[in-house]
Amino acid sequence: MIDYRVSPETQARLAEAAEIGRKELRPAGLEADGRGAPIPPDDAFFERCLARGEGGTVWAGPDGKRATGPRRSVVERLLLSEELAYWDRGVIIAMPGPGLPENNVLSMGTDEQKERFLGPFLARDRPRWACFGMTEPGAGSDAAAIRTTARKDGDGWILNGAKCFIGGASRSDWILVQATLDPTKGRGAQRAFFVEAGTPGLGGFKIEKKMGLKAYESTSFTLDDCRVPAENLLGGEARYESSAGFKTAMRTFNAGRPQIAANAVGMARAALDESIRFARENDLLGRDRVRDRIEAISRKVRKARLVCLKAGWLADEERPNIIEASMSKALAAQMAQEATTLGLELVGLVGARGDHLIEKLYRDVKAMDIVEGTGQVQRMIIARTLVGLPR
């Protein structure tokens, strides 16, 4: 039986997240959007994040005794992610921490790598970031088509290539870079490497100008004969038999897709609430067409949340969730775009001024259909899995 109950501790955390969102996240997101630039790394906002206990790692330290806070189920994490995105999705991505590659390091990293790369996040002595470098200018959503190369050179590796739209790359202590030993050998030739800030050959950082989610930086960079030591290969060479490298990257995305879906549900809720508020204040709720649209979006928000939670519940049960993970992202991203479109239609010319929350959400939410595999990619994954089509 599917059980979505959450603990009293998580209910309290959801209430706390709503309070932080109202006081901190939404104002910070609106300010960054108005400025058209990410929150600077030395902004006091990040110090306040650390003071609240954020920005750390769930790794328990070399002796396994470091307090890392309560371990939450995937369902609970999705609910928290939804609530935080309700207030501002761009700001929560900007927050310090080991981010997307943390789970890969925990599942595949050696003990030495966990201590070396996650250990500093235990201290919370300053805002720190890490990120995952997968997307490339010529590969887009096709993770198997990356062209960044890795060549063995004595006791190290030489990386060459370019990455784009990598969250927080220019401020990260390290980047987990996905590369291939031979582009003609497909997924089995992929590897992941830790590339630390300041490594010679890592450079060309350029923060992209985006239509939305401006609170966090999306950065392009290059790897030009960038040499890293052998111990920077995630998990060591023994881990990379068959297609372990590609599967590791995909594990990240299978875990991340329901998170994106939860973000989209939160943003849709925000658009819906703002639409209802505007309709009430402007005597629009008496119109059948307005009520019908609001009811339809409300129903779709609930449907998307249930699909998202099922993906999380399967993960908690350690059962395959690739179909549900892709379904949740494809469904929630599309639904959120519908919700913001409805809102923009309701506010009309007010939304065209460029300073209304719904107009911001309309620009923010498009990324939910793009990041970690477009809606089209999700539908291909679902079709391949359901009917066994070859890759």
Q: Is 372 a catalytic residue?
A: yes
**CA–CA dist 241, 245 (Å, integer):** 8
Active-site choice (76, 83, 217, 372): 372
Tokens of residue 157, six digits? 């590796």
Other C-beta atoms closer than 10 Å to the C-beta of 96 total: 23
Rg (CA), the chain: 21
**CA–CA dist 378, 305 (Å, integer):** 17
Tell the burial category of 289 from Cβ atoms under 10 Å away from its Cβ (0-12, 13-18, 19+). Answer: exposed
**CA–CA dist 378, 139 (Å, integer):** 16
Helix, strand, or coil (residue 370): coil
At 149, phi and psi to the nearest 5? -105, 155
Are the C-beta atoms of residues 157 and 187 closer than 8 Å to each other? Answer: no
DSSP conformation class of 200:
T
Residues marked as catalytic = 372
